[in-house]
Amino acid sequence: MTVQTIPEISKMTPAQKIELMEELWKDMSETNLSEPPDWHREYLADRQRAVAKGEDSFITLDELEDELRSDLR
């Protein structure tokens, strides 16, 4: 599959969609993405400041799972 021959996504078969995703993932994994974007650092710094001020908090994975299960009931 090449860019010139990619049909509209809504007209692709499931196998074609998987092939396209695999090609995209392969290309992205070969690209050096070791440095996070600036907005990511800013977001994390904002969260850290909010936690230090007591304006935000973290929950454990178990707590998150419990909340999600409760929401789905």
Mean pLDDT of 38-51: 94
Asked whether the predicted pLDDT for residue 1 surpasses 80, the reply is no
Tell me what percent of the chain is helix, strand and coil, each rounded to the nearest 5: 70, 0, 30
Structure tokens at 12: 């692709």
Q: In the chain, where are the structural domains located?
A: 1-34, 38-72
**Residue 31: predicted pLDDT:** 80
Does this model's pTM top 0.75? My answer is no
Contacts of 67 (CB under 8 A, 6+ apart): 59
